[in-house]
Amino acid sequence: MDYPYLTGFIIFMVLLAVAVGVVSYFVIKKYPKTYWIFNHVLILYPYYYMLVIAVPLILAGGMEGFDGEKAFVSEIIVFLVNPISLGVLVADFVTNAKGHVPPEKLAKLNMIIKLVHIPAYIIHFILGALGTLASVWGIGFVLWAIIIDLITIALSGTHMLSCVISIIKHKAANTAISVVAAILSYIYCIDVVVAIVYYVYIRNLKPAPALKAEAAEEVPAE
């Protein structure tokens, strides 16, 4: 890709992420129940790539029929998934950090996101392992698995960060424990254990009095 086109493409991606973030935030603010719908974008993030790659391959009847046109369409969809997910994450982050969602619900949602991502990590690991045994195409699978895993854990880790910011803001839990939990949420494998333990920890705490003042803005339950 030529430099001018690459620059234009990056600007487009950034503007798309900003637009999605702004629209998502105001939609959530006006229709609180959509909060849970938007969060499914983060929950299902690593699986979009599987569909984008698997569906064209199935329709093409295998690698033999996977021509340049089908590959181009897949690449476009893959690139669009990232700014859309980033935009939703920003809207989600602001909503959470402002304290519109009770701590227990946030911790539970974070745990669900981490648990749902486990099968994706396993599939990526298998594909990466198979890629090491394949020809030059195998290198692509290995890099793909590593990159998607890193992006996935970055997204879910940032969601946990917003959860912790909200909890610290409302003094609903020990600050040191919450900060450590946020940091560990960016570490592979450990993040899942931390999400479960932190949810149990938050669930067993008494509700923070500060939350009552913002009850009118609370995002409703699923």
Following DSSP, what letter does each residue of 99-164 receive, concatenated? T-S-HHHHHHHHHHHHHHTHHHHHHHHHHHHHHHHSSTHHHHHHHHHHHHHHHHHHHHHHHHHHHH
**Cα(172)–Cα(187) distance, integer angstroms:** 24
pLDDT tens digit string along 143-185?
878 888 898 999 999 999 998 998 888 888 889 999 999 999 9
pLDDT at residue number 213: 42
The pTM assigned to this predicted structure is: 0.80
Average pLDDT, the chain: 80
pLDDT tens digit sequence for 32-60: 888 988 888 889 888 887 776 666 555 55
> Does residue 114 contact residue 195 with C-beta atoms inside 8 Å?
yes
Tokens of 131: 């890629």
* DSSP SS3 for 166: helix
Q: What gap in Å lies between CA 120 and CA 153, rounded to an integer?
A: 11
pLDDT, tens digit (0-9, with 9 covering 90-100), for 64-75: 555 555 555 666
* 201 close to 108: Cβ distance less than 8 angstroms: no
| Residue predicted with more confidence, 186 or 167 | 186
Residue 215 pLDDT level (bands cut at 50, 70, 90): very low
- Nearest partner of 42 among 144, 126, 160, 128, judged by Cα: 160
